[in-house]
Structure formats: C-alpha cells, structure tokens
Amino acid sequence: MRLRLPRRRPRLWRVTILVLAALYFLGPIAASIRFSLIQNNGKDGLGNYTQVLHDALLSHALGTSLEIAGIATAILLVLMLPTVVWVRLKMPRIALLVESVSVLPIVIPPIVMGAGLAALQKNSGAGLQSLLFNSSLTGLTPFYVILALPFAYRSLDVGVRAIDLRTLVDAARSLGAGWFTLIVRVILPNVRTAVLTAASLSIALVLAEVVIAGTLLYDTFPVELVNQAQENTGLAVALSVLTLLITWLLLFAITFLGNRGSRARVGRLI
C-alpha cells in the first residue's frame, strides 16, 4: 500500500513574490496590447496591426530588418562556432583574452560607433560608397555582426564547454573526418541549443537596434517604429508588440528544437 504524503501548501511569501513578478512583467505588456488596439477613430480593433501589412513603407522596413538579421546571424555563426572550437581545443590559454576582446562591442556605446560610421560615410570615396554604404543591407550587416558578437560568443562558448570536446574531436579525426565535417556533423548537433540561443539573440538585437541605423539614415524596422511613435502612437505600440511576439516565437522555437534534438540523441543511444 502506497502512503500518500500530505501536500505542502506554498508559503505565502513565495506566492506574493510570484504574483508581484507576474504583475511587474506582464502588466506593461498587457497595457501595451490594450493600447495598441485603440484605433485613430477611438474604437477598438486590429487596424494598427493590419496597417503593417498594408503600409508599403512599414512592410519594406520590416523585410529589410529581417533580411539583415538573417544574413548577420548566418555570418556570425559561421565565424564564431569554429573560432570557439579552435580556441577551446588548440589555444585554451588565450580563452580569457578572447573573451575580454569579445566584450568590447558592449563597452563601446553604439552612438560612438554610429558617429564614427557617419563620419566615414560622409568622407569616403565613391568606391567605398558603392561597395558599403549604398544600401542598408551592406551598410549595417557587418556592424550588426560586431554588435552581436559578445552575445553569440558567450552562448556558443557555454555550449562548447558543456560537451566533451576533446573526445568528440579525437573520435571524429580518428575516423577520417575533416574539419568541415567535424564542425557540421559532430559538434553542431551537440551544441544545437547554444547555436539557436546565439541566433535568437542576434536577431533580437537587429530588430531592436536603432542608434546606428538612424545615424546612417537607413530605413529599418526600429527606425520606422521611432518615426511612427511621433505620428501614430497606437501604431508604434503595435509594432513594439509585434517585435516582442517575434522574440517570444524565437524563444519557443529554441526550446522546441533543443528538446527535440535532445530526445533524438537519447533515442539513438537507446
């Protein structure tokens, strides 16, 4: 006969902290959603959200930001994952130095970088103008890669340190795997969650960065959001809610894909 232990009631202070935390985080979000439903005519509706689809300027700005986010994230992962693996595997003594250098984009304010880029854009020749500053895609992507570097490096470094890197590399190399195969087919599946986390942080940064894009006079989604805030507050709040929704979807995708990859590895082991 199984004895049933009495259930402990949660202590009052724990419930109080949980309720206060929920109000602190969810209260402003709920207020933003409620305010975004107020249309220009004073009635409630989804007009502010549907305007994003019907407004060609907003749609173009959103598409531009998503395109920059995708390209910058791909470049960042291609550069950083082999770098993290190489540092941890071949040069562990300089790992602290590399970590310190990777933090520099956080230490330097974005307005400083934006001012420097604006001066470079103004005084650059025709060749550099056409190569780099002619479009927002080429003008912002390299610098967003630099801005997202600290977050991506930390995420990937944590993921690489959590696995037995030396054993995986030695086993793969003994079977004749090259470095490309080693990174793509051996290490990448084992740090899937770290890679997805780095990607989500990079995309979230691109969708929120407004200082450099505004300084260089590029029309991106965050810049358009700031411009709309001066004309249509409800639409600006709706755009903010959409940005938050995209970030949440990315986090849910990370959790789903990460758990799915873990279950698949466990199934193969069984």
C-alpha distances (whole Å) from 127 to each of 123, 124, 132, 134 are: 12, 8, 9, 10
- The CATH class of the 55-269 domain is mainly alpha
Predicted local confidence at residue 33, as pLDDT: 85
Predicted local confidence at residue 133, as pLDDT: 83
Mean pLDDT check: name the lowest of 94-108, 178-192, 238-252.
238-252
Share of the chain above pLDDT 70, in %: 90
Predicted local confidence at residue 131, as pLDDT: 78
pLDDT tens-digit map of 162-217: 888 888 888 888 888 888 888 888 898 888 888 888 888 888 888 888 888 888 88
Question: pTM value?
Answer: 0.77
Predicted local confidence at residue 63, as pLDDT: 86
Name the region of 217 (left: φ>0; alpha: ψ -120 to 50; beta: rest): left
**Residue 32 CB neighbour total at 10 angstroms:** 15
Share of the chain above pLDDT 90, in %: 9
Local confidence band at 269 (pLDDT 50, 70, 90 cut-offs)? very low
**Mean predicted lDDT score pLDDT of the chain:** 82
In sequence order, the β-bridge partners of residue 38 are 44
pLDDT tens-digit map of 15-60: 888 889 888 888 888 888 888 888 777 777 777 787 777 777 888 8
pLDDT tens-digit map of 214-241: 888 888 888 888 887 777 777 778 888 8
**Are residues 39 and 45 in contact, defined by beta-carbon separation less than 8 angstroms?**
yes
Predicted local confidence at residue 267, as pLDDT: 43
Local confidence band at 261 (pLDDT 50, 70, 90 cut-offs)? low
- Each domain of the chain, given as residue ranges in start order, spans 55-269
In sequence order, the β-bridge partners of residue 44 are 38
Predicted local confidence at residue 2, as pLDDT: 57
Local confidence band at 156 (pLDDT 50, 70, 90 cut-offs)? very high
